[in-house]
Amino acid sequence: MSALADQILWSRLISVVEEQAKTLMRTAFSATVREAGDLSAALFDRRGRMVAQARTGTPGHVNCTAVAAGHFLAAFPAADMAPGDHFITNDPWLVSGHLHDITVFSPVFRAGALIGFFGCTCHQVDIGGRGMGPDARSVFEEGLYLPIMRLARDSVVDAALIRLIRANVRTPDEVEGDILSYVTANEFSGARLNRMLDEFRLDDIEALSDHIIQTSESAMRAAIARLPHGSWRNHMRIDGYDAPVDLVATLIIDATGLLVDLDGTSPASPRGINLVMNYTAAYVSYGIRAAIGPEIPNNAGSLAPVRIQAPDGCILNVRPPAPVSARHIIGQFLPELVLGCLAELLPELIPAEGAASNWGLQLRGTGERPFNILFFNAGGAGARPSRDGLSATAFPSGIRSIPVEICETVAPIVIHRKELLPDSGGAGTWRGGLAQRVEVGGRDDASIEVFAVFDRVDNPARGRNGGADGAAGKVMLDDGTKLRAKGQQIIPAGRRLRVDLPGGGGFGPPGERPAALIDRDIQQGYVTMPAKERG
């Protein structure tokens, strides 16, 4: 085919997986998928290589789903698959790192021959067990564990499996509805792919897949080759559960390519803030690619040149049955960690540190109207080398906030405040992004459980090149009572939960910030006084 034809076919594949993601969001029962886009959607060739992914989604989901195909094919060889088959798992060590993410994998046939697979991974607010917090001592406490199994045969869902799932979760209608939406999205996408191949009179996607993956890998290797050879190290300390966690990365570039070695990182935690290697690799590779290959499509080819290793038994590479439910707390810091390694190499690109870890508020009510809700909130991003940091913007997760009106509709809660927090961005030549304050309480006269999964309360985002640190986060009740940043806790009846999210670090010396920008910040209420007066 010509280069133009290849480009057209590539664009059409992207449209197919984008439709897959939109179908998930239109049909999902849970607001985390429907409104926030906490999902991944991707197309694989018949060898299990990820060819294309939807832009909607999170790096943890997308890059974990990228390697899931091999696990499904090992459990169910292609010869044993038939049209209408669908497979399911939430095994943390095979897919995206905790039981709350369910992956459905579906083969696509054309004229009776297997031509590829569609896969999606989506977040479930409830999967039984304790709930999505870090309190568990083993994965067996964290919810229902589904090995790779057949979910449907000939498009008929396994009723016994669904009954088993429903019996183990607190919101059975929502969970069942979500799983069926994953099946629907994959089946719809399979039909859509076949119509595209009809249009272009193609029998399969093999030649196209080879071209996309080889071109992407070549482009990524070329981007790495433009960097100097050497070794760069970064260390980041974050709060942890009951003791600080040290994250250490050494970036090595040589003639063989690029390696990120995470040796020196803290050992595993007895609590559920641990990461499986699959999830660690997903976020580390995202940080590398965001800096040196942002325009290269994310697929099996572009992911291949980035090698990642972590010591067995460290907090970034645990084995079963370690607890892993709140793995995202640490996982979302990993792009910041590797960007710190690249700061000397690419000073014109690498920003200051930001809030990084998304503050998801998971609340559970057990009164007359039981409910489970999770809604996402973002702190400030780090200032960039030539402009201010973005305020209340999720990086690296990419999850959208759920509108207040939706939250208050699906659960008996009231969000009393959701506002930018003045003075939370680190001072600098370029100011860090502002965080936000969120205050929420129940509509009913009953207590509420909160599953706190917050960080940067003790260790705020660091400024870069002389910039000041961002503001630290705070977790409290509306009367000022301090709460722990991690762990299941009670919001008493009549009280509200108040969280001040962390702000982004500043970039460059504060004294070099133009006076016009300082005046603008004060006029807009972003700062209450200049940095020199704040000390």
Best CA proximity match to 13, nearest among 46, 51, 47, 67 = 51
Mean pLDDT, rounded, for 456-485? 98
Whole-number Å distance between alpha carbons of 322 and 312:
12
Question: Is 223 domain-assigned?
Answer: no
Write out pLDDT tens, residues 401-417. 999 999 999 999 999 99
In the listed set 180, 200, 217, which residue is the last one of a domain according to the structure?
A: 217
AA identity, residue 286: Y
Confidence of residue 455 (pLDDT cuts 50, 70, 90): very high
What pLDDT does 420 receive?
Answer: 98
Mean pLDDT, rounded, for 481-506? 97
Question: Is 322 domain-assigned?
Answer: no
AA identity, residue 330: I
Question: Is 498 domain-assigned?
Answer: yes
Question: Is 245 domain-assigned?
Answer: no
Structure tokens at 266: 């803290």
Question: Is 264 domain-assigned?
Answer: no
What pLDDT does 367 receive?
Answer: 78
What pLDDT does 534 receive?
Answer: 53
Whole-number Å distance between alpha carbons of 188 and 27:
12
Question: Is 360 domain-assigned?
Answer: yes
Question: What residue has token string 């697979």?
Answer: 117
Which residue range is the domain that position 143 belongs to?
3-217
In the listed set 187, 217, 247, which residue is the last one of a domain according to the structure?
A: 217
Residue 99 has pLDDT above 50, yes or no: yes
Instruction: Judge if 209 and 357 occupy the same domain.
Output: no
Mean pLDDT, rounded, for 327-341? 97
Within 10 angstroms of residue 256's Cβ, the number of other Cβ atoms is 9
Give the rounded distance of the alpha carbon of 197 from its chain centre: 32
Question: Is 252 domain-assigned?
Answer: no
Average pLDDT score, the chain: 95
Write out pLDDT tens, residues 29-75. 999 999 999 999 999 999 999 999 998 888 999 999 999 999 999 99
DSSP 14-81: HHHHHHHHHHHHHH-SSHHHHTT--EEEEEEETTS-EEEE-SSS-HHHHHHHHHHHHHHHHHS-GGG-
Which regions of 447-514 does DSSP assign to beta strands (E)?
Answer: 448-453, 474-477, 486-491, 497-500
Whole-number Å distance between alpha carbons of 302 and 424:
37
Entry pTM: 0.96
Longest CA pairwise span in the chain (Å): 73
Confidence of residue 369 (pLDDT cuts 50, 70, 90): confident
Please tell me the total count of domains within the chain.
2
What pLDDT does 535 receive?
Answer: 45
Residue 253 has pLDDT above 70, yes or no: yes
What pLDDT does 110 receive?
Answer: 98
Question: Is 484 domain-assigned?
Answer: yes
Write out pLDDT tens, residues 410-453. 999 999 999 999 999 999 999 999 999 999 999 988 899 999 99
In the listed set 154, 187, 217, which residue is the last one of a domain according to the structure?
A: 217
